Amino acid sequence: MKLDKPTFAVSTRADNLAKALRTSQKTITIWVRAGKYKNRFPLLRTTVTYNAKSVIDAGNYQKRFIATLPVAKTHTKLSILKEISNDEIRQLLAFTKRDKTIRSSTHDFDSFKSKKSFLSWKKRGKYIYTLINKNGRLTGIVWFNKGVPTVRIYPHSSKAKTLAKKLLVIVCKDFEKNNRKLTVSKNRLGQAFRIMS
């Protein structure tokens, strides 16, 4: 779900998040899992959009937040964020090392073999967006290189292509809004989808 001006509810108490959602279904709920309430789960697990490890983590999530992306036929909401955190870099490197298709069919392995090589690659004008689940697990990444998008969804599944298309639509709008000199043509989007197939 795309939000123009998201409203965030941040609390250490999951029941407070449920109350915020009753006020507005568009609220982005962040549960700071700390203190004496850290193991008191909400009655509905879908109440929580993101499980933050600390107040600082919750603040970083809010700064990077673009939109939520519901997964069809599930109660799962994934978060689309700008940039990439150190923990997400670590997960990306692990995915790249395990995925035989990426190692044999792309140049990702050379760029993502270590944190040093990744940071060197990133400095060459890449705009990065990540897709994470409520526990901060990386489920996808999109990067733009000179306006050309590349997308990866982890793990590969039957829903990956549909999820990738929805993700690309949202991040392309944000990319064009924030990078007026670089635009994403429909031709380039088509190339990104062909690469994924």
Task: Label the pairing between strands 28-32 and 8-11.
Answer: parallel
Asked if residue 34 is part of any domain, the answer here is yes
Tell me, yes or no, whether 61 and 90 share the same domain.
no
What does residue 83 show for φ and ψ, rounded to 5 degrees? 65, -170
Give the structural domain span for 191: 82-196
The reply to whether the predicted model has a pTM over 0.95 is: no
Tell me, yes or no, whether 142 and 89 share the same domain.
yes
Asked if residue 55 is part of any domain, the answer here is yes
Mean pLDDT of 118-137: 93
pLDDT band at 1 (very low <50, low <70, confident <90, very high): very low
**Which pLDDT tens digit goes with each residue over 28-72?**
999 898 777 667 776 666 778 899 999 999 999 999 999 999 887
Distance CA 161, CA 159 (A): 6
Asked if residue 23 is part of any domain, the answer here is yes
Asked if residue 152 is part of any domain, the answer here is yes
pLDDT band at 142 (very low <50, low <70, confident <90, very high): very high
User: For residue 24, is pLDDT > 90?
Assistant: no
Domain total in the chain: 2
Q: Which has more pLDDT, 187 or 66?
A: 66
| Averaged confidence pLDDT in the chain | 83
* Residues 66/171, Cβ–Cβ less than 8 Å: yes
Tell me, yes or no, whether 60 and 132 share the same domain.
no
Tell me, yes or no, whether 34 and 87 share the same domain.
no
Residue matched to tokens 């060197």: 120
User: For residue 185, is pLDDT > 70?
Assistant: no
Residue 195 is predicted with a pLDDT of: 43
Distance CA 21, CA 9 (A): 9
What is the domain-level CATH number for residue 159? 3.40.630
Asked if residue 171 is part of any domain, the answer here is yes
* Residues 96/29, Cβ–Cβ less than 8 Å: no
Asked if residue 75 is part of any domain, the answer here is no
Q: Which two tokens stand for residue 24?
A: 């507005």
Distance CA 154, CA 75 (A): 18
What does residue 144 show for φ and ψ, rounded to 5 degrees? -110, 130
Q: How far from the centroid of its chain's Cα atoms is residue 157's Cα?
A: 17
Tell me, yes or no, whether 180 and 90 share the same domain.
yes
Q: Which amino acid is at 58?
A: A
Tell me, yes or no, whether 101 and 183 share the same domain.
yes
Q: Which has more pLDDT, 95 or 5?
A: 95
User: For residue 5, is pLDDT > 70?
Assistant: yes
Handedness of CA 80, 103, 182, 162 (dihedral sign): negative
Tell me, yes or no, whether 130 and 173 share the same domain.
yes
**Which pLDDT tens digit goes with each residue over 71-114?**
877 778 899 999 999 999 999 999 888 877 777 777 777 788 89
**Secondary structure of the chain: what % helix, strand, coil (to 5)?**
45, 25, 30
Residue 154 is predicted with a pLDDT of: 84
Tell me, yes or no, whether 89 and 161 share the same domain.
yes
Give strand pairing partners of 148.
145
Distance CA 124, CA 126 (A): 6
